[in-house]
Amino acid sequence: MTPSPSPPLNPPTTPSPTPAPSSTPFPTSSSAPAVQTDTFLDKTPAYPDDQGGLSGFTPLAPVLPNQTFQSIASGQVSDCFYTTDECADAGSQYSSIARVTYPDNPTPVTLCICQGAAFTLNSLAQAVGQVPLFLRTTVKSYAAVPGGGGAYTIASQITIFGSNPQDVFVHESTHAFDGTFQLSDQQAYLQALYADSCVPDEYAQNSNVECFAQDMVVFLYYLWNPSFFQPPCLGRQIGFVNMVTVPGVQSYKSSVAAMLAGSSSGATAQPSPVATPGPTTRVTPPAVPAGTPTTTPVGTVQPTPAPVPTTGAGTCSTTLAKWAQCGGKSNCPTASVCGDTQWSGFCCPADSHCVRASEWYQQCLPSR
């Protein structure tokens, strides 16, 4: 796809990120600060672009259940963009501006259709309805404008150029989510990213912000289709996403599990609504060297132990879920087990083992 021109960005943090290549399908978002060093560029893409990238897996992943829009109210042109009216810049005008409410959330989101866009109001509403609720509730507007493909997000307002697959909607909505909760610059995520040997694809090499958005795409593909191939070299990054405890993530995971179980038994379940999250106080991240960070990871994410399986491991008092934290000096369940080791009494499930990433973090990763 030919990318659209990048919107004006805020000055980058030090060190200055290298500009994205011209073939990049997602112009860099200014929703969260980006950190970039050669370490990102050195990491192997798990889903290379020359093999279809992540978009190539879209037909293999199940279609996420969408919410049909429940009500429509008229909106204004100023609701469709933050600083640049891409529709006017394309020499066109908006044919539809609607504040759309979905059954799973009472707060409407603005959908804007520019004349000549690849989406109609109905098709855009369907695509947006397939975005998980915890991501969608952080987005103010989705604007579909003419173009050859690509998208960008500024201040929780998303502009979509031309026709784009569902992973683009997830990627851009994750920028709004990340801009609200500042997850991609959390020390725990940066530790996971530096410890892993690969990133999702070439675009994820650009910065922690873009890598986090692509990690969310991988996480959702795997959540809906456990047979989706997820290489161990991404384990710590995906584990971080899996353990995020900001509003809606864990309840969405539970809803997906219930829906998958219901589909196998012929029953039907729907995602649980969550309240629209408000903005949080900005946390300025410390500088992260190319090596292992030495500061204590900050909060926001906590391990979510799974129920102890009937076939518990040895004398363990608690068997953790795959991808859960199993040791280290951060997020300790009790002071007595805290240390640069696997937590005493806490074990990984039979198909996983506890792997040390740093003195602060060890994680249950799938056995090879």
* CA dist., res. 141 & res. 128, Å (int): 10
d(CA 200, CA 259): 27
Cα–Cα distance list, 35 to 155, 224, 286 (Å): 19, 30, 11
Q: Which residues lie closer than 8 Å to 261 by C-beta, 6 or more apart?
A: 267, 269
Please compute the mean of the pLDDT values over residues 52-73 and round it to a whole number.
Answer: 57
Please choose, from the candidates 303, 356, 300, the residue with its C-alpha nearest in 3D space to the C-alpha of residue 328. Answer: 356
To the nearest 10 degrees (0 to 180), the angle between helices 187-195 and 208-224 is: 80
| Single pTM value for the model | 0.64
The pLDDT of 73-102, averaged and rounded, is 89
Q: Which residue has the higher pLDDT, 166 or 332?
A: 166
Q: Which tens digits make up the pLDDT trace of 292-302?
A: 332 323 333 33
What length is written for the chain?
368
How far is the C-alpha of 33 from the C-alpha of 207, rounded, in Å?
9
For the beta carbon of residue 287, count every other beta carbon within 10 angstroms. Answer: 10
Q: Check residue 147 and give its pLDDT.
A: 92
Strands 44-45 and 71-74, by their bridges, are unpaired
* pLDDT, tens only, 282-292: 222 223 333 33
Is the confidence at residue 333, as pLDDT, over 60?
yes
The 10s digit of each residue's pLDDT in 203-253 is 998 889 999 999 999 999 888 887 777 788 999 999 999 999 888 999 988
